[in-house]
């Protein structure tokens, strides 16, 4: 997506160029200098160009402001695939050597979770800007150290929480913050699949290299791979960090060669008693995934891109007019007809959050924002903090399941964000 297309798209959603977008999604300030940065390039090194890394690269190579100058992996097939996209990139097998490369401004880290910590810390030490795939790290202590390192680094730090850039989610949260759906009463997140997550192992690889998500010492499973995305929606919508969590996890169906849960439930509690649930079952995919934000006047389902009012729905024609208001459009209201009767509205099918067809899941915009930030050297507000708590809440939920206890968010891992205050200064 180029600059003009991006601007046009955001404008068509009614969230570009105004205070509304920046109020609910301040990280979009990354695009503030995008006209000035035309002609500049963010020189990026990819650490871990496996399947996820290649997916990220597929967006980066289309961005004229990005040059992928290096790739690093010990697994040659991944390097070969990466070079098909970026043939001129320098190849490394040791990420520390890549970090020494003066031609690299920033790194994209898409390695297994347990490898993030040292790579991110070393990258900041080497003066690089960092984009790290979610979750940030394997433990709460590591995640906290990374955040402290970032704050002291004067470098840009992004995490792969792409919902922060997904137009459906941006608009959904904007609607919640506007109050038009009333007060948030609860948040129900679920992410169900019917698969064991197992990938085929090539001849020259080990199971752990490929299926690291299934090993306890590499991953926290469902929580760090799935919940991380959804819990972030809760804090974004509530503008608050939940203080307690309890949960239970088990291996119930996929019992072979698996160390992480395939069945997990957590309940997070906010100060006012509102609860955020997370449920995941990996042996049934009927309900798929969704983040249901339950409000006193309506419900919003950003993944479906729909919202539903509790009583009669708003008239689409009138809502369209409200949306057109900012764009100075003198539109027609197409509603005249014979009497509307409630019998015709027995099923509440909801309204679409966006009129426009969505342009993907936000990954493209997120990476474009990262490139802009690398070039400008400016960290957009709140994006690191939203990502920080997405990881920490996932990890705390995992710990609650492991210990089968209700856990309070530890003071030592609090940072200055929303209702949390850090207990110490960053060195």
Partner 1 sequence: MQYTHKSINGSSLFYAWFQAMHTRIDVLMYANHSEIILISIAKKIKIEIERLEKLANRFNQNSELSQLNSNAFEKSMPLSNELYQIIEECIQYKDTTLGFFDITVNSANNFTEGISNINLDKVNQTIRFLHPDVQLDLSGFIKGYALREIKQILLNANIKDALVNIGNSSVLAIGNHPHGKGWKINSNQKDISKECELHNQCLTTSGNTNNTKWPIQKPMTRKVIENYPMLSVITEDPATGEVLSKALYTANKKEKLEILNHLKGQIIHFN
Find the binder of partner 1 among 75, 197, 309, 352 (CB under 8 A).
Answer: 309
Taking CB under 8 A as the rule, does residue 297 contact partner 1? Answer: yes
Find the binder of partner 1 among 315, 406, 423, 426 (CB under 8 A).
Answer: 315
| Residue with smaller CB distance to partner 1, 178 or 252 | 178
Helix (H) or strand (E) holding 147: helix 140-153
Taking CB under 8 A as the rule, does residue 201 contact partner 1? Answer: no
Class of residue 295 by CB neighbours under 10 A (exposed 0-12, middle 13-18, buried 19+): buried
Under 8 Å between Cβ of 246 and 406: yes
Closest distance of CB 334 from partner 1, Å: 4
Find the binder of partner 1 among 39, 87, 334, 424 (CB under 8 A).
Answer: 334
Under 8 Å between Cβ of 259 and 216: yes
Phi, psi of 119 (to 5 degrees): -65, -45
Under 8 Å between Cβ of 153 and 251: no
Distance in angstroms (rounded) separating the CA atoms of residues 271 and 162: 27
Nearest alpha carbon to residue 44 among 34, 59, 30: 59
| Residue with smaller CB distance to partner 1, 141 or 321 | 321
Taking CB under 8 A as the rule, does residue 23 contact partner 1? Answer: no
| Residue with smaller CB distance to partner 1, 4 or 341 | 341
Taking CB under 8 A as the rule, does residue 311 contact partner 1? Answer: yes
Distance in angstroms (rounded) separating the CA atoms of residues 354 and 177: 16
Distance in angstroms (rounded) separating the CA atoms of residues 260 and 250: 8
Find the binder of partner 1 among 337, 346, 347, 357 (CB under 8 A).
Answer: 337
| Residue with smaller CB distance to partner 1, 36 or 297 | 297
Find the binder of partner 1 among 38, 201, 250, 312 (CB under 8 A).
Answer: 312
Taking CB under 8 A as the rule, does residue 408 contact partner 1? Answer: no
Under 8 Å between Cβ of 19 and 80: no
Binding characters for partner 1, 142-181, by CB under 8 A (x = yes): ------------------------------------x-x-
Rounded to a whole number of angstroms, the CA Rg of the chain reads 22
Closest distance of CB 352 from partner 1, Å: 16
Structure tokens of 393?
């809440």
Largest CA distance in the chain: 73
Distance in angstroms (rounded) separating the CA atoms of residues 50 and 62: 18
| Residue with smaller CB distance to partner 1, 277 or 320 | 320
Site for partner 1 in 179-198 (CB under 8 A): 180
Find the binder of partner 1 among 5, 58, 100, 335 (CB under 8 A).
Answer: 335
Contact residues for partner 1 (CB under 8 A)? 178, 180, 297-298, 309-312, 314-315, 318-319, 321-322, 324-326, 328-344
């Amino acid at each position: 997506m180029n600059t003009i297309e991006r601007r046009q798209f955001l404008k068509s959603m009614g969230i570009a160029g105004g205070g509304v977008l920046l109020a609910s999604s301040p990280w979009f300030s990354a695009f503030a200098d995008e006209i000035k940065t035309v002609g500049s390039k963010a020189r990026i090194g990819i650490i871990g160009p496996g399947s996820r890394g290649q997916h990220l690269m597929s967006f980066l190579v289309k961005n004229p402001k990005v040059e992928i100058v290096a790739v690093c992996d010990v697994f040659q097939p991944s390097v070969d695939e990466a070079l098909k996209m970026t043939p001129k990139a320098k190849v490394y097998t040791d990420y520390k050597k890549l970090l020494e490369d003066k031609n690299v401004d920033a790194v994209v880290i898409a390695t297994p979770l347990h490898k993030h910590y040292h790579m991110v810390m070393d990258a900041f030490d080497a003066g690089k800007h960092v984009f790290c795939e979610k979750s940030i790290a394997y433990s709460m202590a590591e995640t906290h150290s990374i955040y402290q390192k970032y704050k002291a680094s004067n470098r840009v730090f992004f995490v792969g929480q792409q919902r922060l850039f997904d137009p459906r989610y941006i608009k959904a949260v904007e609607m919640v913050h506007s109050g038009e759906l009333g007060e948030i009463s609860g948040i129900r997140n679920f992410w169900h699949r019917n698969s064991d997550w197992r990938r085929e192992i090539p001849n020259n690889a080990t199971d752990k290299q490929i299926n690291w998500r299934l090993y306890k010492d590499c991953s926290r499973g469902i929580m760090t791979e799935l919940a991380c995305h959804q819990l972030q929606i809760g804090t974004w919508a509530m503008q608050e960090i939940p203080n307690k969590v309890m949960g239970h996890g088990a291996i119930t169906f996929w019992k072979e060669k698996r160390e992480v849960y395939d069945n997990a439930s957590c309940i997070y509690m906010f100060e006012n008693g509102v609860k955020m649930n997370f449920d995941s079952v990996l042996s049934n995919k009927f309900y798929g995934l969704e983040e249901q934000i339950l409000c006193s006047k309506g419900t919003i389902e950003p993944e479906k891109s729909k919202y539903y009012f509790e009583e009669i729905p708003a008239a689409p024609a009138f809502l369209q007019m409200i949306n057109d208001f900012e764009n100075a459009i003198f539109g027609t209201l197409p509603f005249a007809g014979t009497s509307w009767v409630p019998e015709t509205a027995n099923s509440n099918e909801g309204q679409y959050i966006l009129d426009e067809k969505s342009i993907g899941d936000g990954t493209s915009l997120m990476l474009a924002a990262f490139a802009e930030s690398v070039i400008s050297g400016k960290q957009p507000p709140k994006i690191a903090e939203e990502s920080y708590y997405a990881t920490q809440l996932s990890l705390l939920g995992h710990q609650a399941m492991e210990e089968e206890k209700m856990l309070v968010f530890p003071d030592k891992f609090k940072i200055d964000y929303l209702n949390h205050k850090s207990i110490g200064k960053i060195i």
